[in-house]
Amino acid sequence: MEARTKAEVLRRLRSVAGHVEGIARMVEEDAYCIDIIRQIQAVQRALAKVNDLVLAQHLRACVTTAIRGEDPEERERVLEEIVEVFEAAQKI
């Protein structure tokens, strides 16, 4: 992963981990359920943003290399993976 993207992804993942621990504290302290759901939804959105960054990186690196390469099976593999994560994204 390109250095700047890597740093940004790591920064966001650490923020998410801290956020999740904060939500656990809310649960322990019997916070209002809707506030807990709102915070979890904020974490889900933050994770979606990380996925966007990682996919963009992947497309410009591995996918471009594979598609410009001479191995049709490798090409097909990377394209199927994109459809797979797109399909999963539509189900989350």
Residues 1-40 that bind a second copy (CB under 8 A): 1, 6, 9-10, 13-14, 16-17, 20-21, 23-24, 27-28, 30, 32-34, 36-38, 40
**Does the protein bind a second copy through residue 86 (CB under 8 A)?**
yes
Supply the minimum distance, in Å, between the C-beta of residue 73 and a second copy.
13
Pair 36, 23: CB distance under 8 Å = yes
Supply the minimum distance, in Å, between the C-beta of residue 92 and a second copy.
5
Residues 36-65 that bind a second copy (CB under 8 A): 36-38, 40-41, 43-45, 47-48, 50-52, 54-64
Instruction: Give the residue, chosen from 4, 71, 73, 90, that forms a contact with a second copy under the rule CB under 8 A.
Output: 90
φ/ψ region of 87 (left if φ > 0, alpha if ψ in -120 to 50, else beta) reads alpha
**For residue 76, how many other CB atoms are within 10 A of its CB?**
11
Cα–Cα distance for residue pair 40/92, rounded to 1 Å:
13
Pair 34, 65: CB distance under 8 Å = no
